[in-house]
Amino acid sequence: MRTGGLGLMPPPPKPARTRQRRNKTTTAATLEAPPVTRPELPTRLSMKRCAAEVDRKSGCPLVADAHDLDHFAKYMVEPHAFVATNIGWHELTLAWWTAIWRSPMVEEWVDADNSGLIALAFLWDEFYRSGDPRLHAEARLATREFGLSPLSRRSLQWEIKRVEGDSPVKPPAVQKPPTRPRKARLRVLTA
């Protein structure tokens, strides 16, 4: 059927029950979980240096993968088992750990997230110790998984409602610009 010589009319829309796209998420679910429990950071052990006494004359620190007979013979070190050293956590890692557990994102986490958060703490700790930009990139990407960056919260559609009076940073007081005295108008006098 033609209308005024302009072309064919568009076909009528399909009935709603026969349309395939309905913009519904088939995996959407609401799960119930108890509040997450904050784990303590595990003991941080060095896997690079051996705590065992080493012959200081050879000047060779033993590393984890060098505990074999060839290494011992080369550096005149008595064979022994690898003993890791407790190196503790970097102070910035401890501050980060405290900050994330005070954040409102904790409400969204479950106990199954704790192992990922601890792995992320190891990444941040290694970055703080080495300054390696590759470690920073990896830690930054892993941070997104837990809603710990503004961009990830936006993509997860999480909103943070600011509570008045709880802000540790006070907004600066609005100051009026200083007033200047009015300048007298100069007039041109003709003589």
- The domain spans of the chain are 40-88, 89-158
* Predicted local confidence at residue 40, as pLDDT: 93
Residue in 92, 110, 104, 105 with CA at minimum distance from that of residue 41: 92
The ranges of the chain with pLDDT < 70 are 1-7, 21-29, 47-68, 72-73, 75-81, 165-186, 191
Say which amino acid occupies 153: R
Q: Which of 45, 90, 43, 83 has its CA nearest to residue 61?
A: 83
- Please indicate, yes or no, whether the overall pTM of this predicted structure exceeds 0.95: no
Contacting residues for 138 by C-beta, under 8 A, at least 6 apart:
123
Q: How wide is the angle at C-alpha 153 spanned by C-alphas 151 and 155, nearest 5°?
A: 70
Per-residue pLDDT tens over the stretch 97-135: 999 999 999 989 999 999 999 999 999 999 999 899 999
pLDDT at 160: 82
